Structure 1
């Protein structure tokens, strides 16, 4: 697994999963959310100033409005309920970075970043993790329909030309890049080293809905209605 490679991975909280159940969020999620929030804020300003036209390549990931849930909460939600290894978030970020380099006419903005994240992390979990949830579960966690997530997965794979393999060297370079982001931008609360979580199996009925117009998740039970979708 890539989670154990490189000298920078442990400082991002990418240690091998422990046997005990932890309650802390891996450091890498906080770093990624900070990096992506700054990227999205910059790109949203570019679009608003009409200095850059939105390209067509990532249109399939666009919604009409940005979802109410923040990026930190969204990443925490994916991690909490899917139990994927923290390395999946780094590899998911690699996929997103590959997209913007392959398709420079398109920007990662508030209208598409959530769908890009859940799709990229899901694909990464299939590549990295020995055990992972299926698309239906990721769809429930991500606040999209199963049909839509299936479509987004195919869209992502074709945009990447099915280039989903990430070498240990590339993985290490992205970990280094994220570490530099901490030093350069002084991300708040980044002086803690977290351990990867070994989460218990979570049934679909225990995943709360993503409410529309709120940034916190509500509890639910087996008889709850389907989750609210990300804004269309």
Structure 2
């Protein structure tokens, strides 16, 4: 079981400066993914949908991590220094994955693992310089062996189709922008909450927070 300790935090590089503005895309993605998870959680509880999400069982934890989606995305951004475009492309990959595997649901049990895997893969595709799997595993709160396995699972589920053209990228940016405009009032509240806590060190995640996130996948699945 992996826990993020104070010593481990000291081995991480200096994060982006606290006064550096968090990319707006993180706030938008947090909101969009939060709505998606809430909708799918309701769907997965219905009698006819209990088996949905089976294709994503490799990404399931025993129970949802305590860390929220906004804080988790912010943590990845702060410590990996990946470009903001990686978050959009990571979202493209997740959306592509669920469309290729009908019935798969992004839920609270798998969204964190899907995010760290998809963003890491996107960074390898987009960024000239990026951290290795071991570092992403430490930032993401999973073991290196688990992240290696999740990356392979993710790539095979995508049939190694990692190409994102400029047209596709722009279309997803427009989609996210429309979501922002449609839910602007709620988005402003979310962004206010994130920026008001910008000086908080989100690297301090307790053992309890990460326990389910680092647990054996064999015990996971929709329950």
Q: TM-score, normalised by structure 2?
A: 0.78
Q: Could you tell me how far 1:55 is from its partner in structure 2?
A: 3.3
Counterpart mapping for 1:55-204 below 5 A: 55-186=53-184, 187-189=186-188
Which aligned segments of 4 or more residues in structure 1 are displaced greater than 4 angstroms? none
Comparing both chains, which one has the higher relative contact order based on Cα–Cα distances under 8 Å and sequence gaps of 6 or more?
A: 2
The number of equivalent residue pairs is 188
Q: Could you tell me how far 1:207 is from its partner in structure 2?
A: 9.4
Task: Indicate if the aligned counterparts of 1:67 and 1:231 stay in contact, CA closer than 8 A.
Answer: no
Task: Indicate if the aligned counterparts of 2:34 and 2:69 stay in contact, CA closer than 8 A.
Answer: yes
Q: TM-score, normalised by structure 1?
A: 0.75
2:206 to 208, 211, 214: 211
Task: Indicate if the aligned counterparts of 1:31 and 1:190 stay in contact, CA closer than 8 A.
Answer: no
More helix by share: 2
Q: Could you tell me how far 1:162 is from its partner in structure 2?
A: 0.2
Please give the per-residue CA displacement for 1:69-115, whole angstroms capped at 9, x wherever unaligned: 00000000000000000000000000000011000121000000000
Please give the per-residue CA displacement for 1:151-180, whole angstroms capped at 9, x wherever unaligned: 000000000000011000000000000000
Counterparts of 2:62 and 2:102 in 1: how far apart (Å)?
22
Q: Which runs of 5+ in 2 are unaligned?
A: 1-15, 192-200, 216-223
Task: Indicate if the aligned counterparts of 1:66 and 1:110 stay in contact, CA closer than 8 A.
Answer: yes
Task: Indicate if the aligned counterparts of 1:60 and 1:155 stay in contact, CA closer than 8 A.
Answer: yes
Q: Which runs of 5+ in 1 are unaligned?
A: 1-19, 193-205, 215-226
Report the secondary structure of 2:124's partner residue: helix
Which residue is equivalent to 1:33? 30
Task: Indicate if the aligned counterparts of 1:143 and 1:229 stay in contact, CA closer than 8 A.
Answer: no
